[in-house]
Amino acid sequence: MFKEVEKISFAQREEKVLKFWDENKIFEKTTEQRENAPRFTFYDGPPFATGLPHYGHILAGTIKDVIPRYKTMKGFNVPRRFGWDCHGLPIESEIEKTQKLSGAASIEAYGIAKFNEDCRRVVLRYTEEWKATVRRMARWVDLDGAYKTMDRPYMESVWWVFKNLHDKGFIYKGFKVMPYSARLGTTLSNFEAGENYKEVDDPSVIVAFPLEDDPEVSLLAWTTTPWTLVSNLALTIGEEVDYVLIEHKADHKRYILAKALLRSVFKEGEYAIVKGVPVDELKGKRYIPLFPHFEDRKEKGAFQILTGNFITLQEGTGIVHTAPAFGEEDFNVCQEAKIDIVCPVDNNGRFTKEVPEFEGKFVKEADKGICKMIKEKGRLLKQGTIRHRYPYCYRSDTPLIYKAVETWFISVEKIKDAMVKNNNEIHWTPEYIKHGRFGNWLENARDWNFSRKRYWGTPIPLWVSDDGDSLVISSVKELEELAGKKFPDIHRHFIDDVVIEKDGKKFRRISEVFDCWFESGSMPYAQKHYPFENETAFTSEFPADFIAEGLDQTRGWFYTLTVLSTALFNKPAFKNVIVNGIILAEDGMKMSKRLQNPPAA
């Protein structure tokens, strides 16, 4: 009476269904049948193709599958195009390891062309494994027609984005203290620097700085980066802080520090307060430099006491050792005082010949030696360790430093209010992220350092002359007309040597490439090669109806999409977003190829 149920396992049944879908092209039919139906637009954020998919990808991929399926069943036409993030530090790091390279000098000796072609050859090595996993999880998405950030049409649209930002006045070259990956030899953006904080033990030292006009009295300054003391050019005190002069009972030495922090530096009974010291009495006083390397800067205003509004009384002494090349607040307060910076650190975080005692040594490895020198000078009051959260490079897993560099920025702070307004138009799930994690990030947005001193990426299309004039190229056609030759590829090794002659001047390209976040943030335009193709299709489908990614993308892809769409069109880039939590590995960390902690998916 009843047909006997086939006795097969769930896994076998799943494979049978997948085979039926493949043989009968069911996914393709769902889109073909709705070709003229109302469009529901979905953007798929591009993963790096340098590693295998893990459970974090599978969770996000499931959400990305469910909503488009539902909207398809409701009668909408829902194109689903996969994408690959092909540029950037992950693939460069792979080649550096394989070829035993380390840093810019070794890569350039190896050859930029050879290095980039190595990157191209291996960047898509795991695409078949990705296809197998996506199929096995029953996700319907167009993998064969996936966009790739390394394809010339995609890169050309990125150029168009940059040109428009430049024409709107959002691009500038600035000299700022930025998070810096010494291992990779490049700056990181502020949001990248927040990706990989670790609890670490660092040195904690309190150093004495004797006053020039009264060497028997010293100001006490605290730091957790002894390596920066070589570059000390000022001390900064708080404008609203109460300071006292105390005498140490054991040796009768006299010190100045914040009254509120006395008990954190000295034990009760170790000292006697001599008197209060007004801030106005200290401001502008000179002190004796700790090291001789930059003593000549005294004639240009260095080694004086400055005031600032960033002094806190949670720890330390209430007096900040100020090295303007290695701290943002240090840089700003010294700029106001017209004290120029000194930066005896190279692009790989090693001391230069300006500090011969530690030349060639990575700065953090010099901490012990510097502390020993300070102790021998009799100016090391206290030495210990402190456990605190410290930023590490999210790609190389090495400690970041903060370093003054000349680099390129987008004036995000100009459009901060517009981004907040556009965010109000987006429907967030969970709702609290809208004005919480994402909204707070927008309200505190900083100018975005988008340039990278790297190799495998979309070159920034900016040519400059010796006298500072610049040309911004917006298309391959424009470059070909100016250069008088064809460019089937626009990676660095194809265009770096191009010299453009115009108005009697010679223009040469700057060496930097775009941060890969700039490329992924350009995805709505670049995946369609807009505005060079598909103009009507793009304008009718922008902003996207739906996107979905993990919580970490509130400071990554969601953010860069919002920055660029606001700057270009004063619109949000998406209308609805679902944010999933982060699946952690067995070690409690986020799953990451770099950490080699995901279980097999």
* Active-site residue list: 46, 85, 517, 553, 557, 590, 593
The order of strands in the sheet holding 448-449 is: 186-187, 171-181, 401-410, 448-449
Chain position carrying tokens 């996936």 = 146
Q: How far apart are the first and last CA of the chain?
A: 42
Strand partners, 35: none
Q: Annotate 69-106 with three-state secondary structure.
A: HHHHHCCCECCCEEEEECCCHHHHHHHHHHCCCCCHHH
Per-residue exposure over 305-337, b if at least 16 CB sit within 10 Å of its own CB, e if not: bbbbeebeeeebbbbbbbbbbbbbbbbebbeeb
In whole angstroms, what is the distance from residue 180 CA to residue 395 CA?
A: 12
Residues found in the chain: 601
In Å, how far from its chain's centre is CA 210?
39
Per-residue exposure over 122-151, b if at least 16 CB sit within 10 Å of its own CB, e if not: ebbebeeebbebbeebebbbbbeebbbbbe
CA distances from 2 to 5, 6, 486 (A): 9, 12, 70
Virtual torsion, Cα 558, 560, 565, 570, nearest 10 deg: 90
Burial class (CB in 10 A: 0-12, 13-18, 19+), 378: exposed
What's the longest Cα–Cα distance across the chain?
A: 108
Cβ–Cβ < 8 Å for 400, 205: no
Chain position carrying tokens 């969770």 = 59
Cβ–Cβ < 8 Å for 261, 318: yes
For residue 142, the SS3 value is strand
Strand partners, 223: 205
Q: Which residue blocks in 137-226 are alpha helix, DSSP H?
A: 152-167, 190-193
Cβ–Cβ < 8 Å for 255, 217: yes
> Pick from 460, 418, 570: which is nearest to 171 by CA?
460
In whole angstroms, what is the distance from residue 148 CA to residue 529 CA?
A: 11
Q: Which residue blocks in 204-292 are alpha helix, DSSP H?
A: 262-265, 279-282
The H-or-E segment that residue 26 falls in is: helix 26-32
> Angle 557-569/416-423 helices, nearest 10 degrees?
110
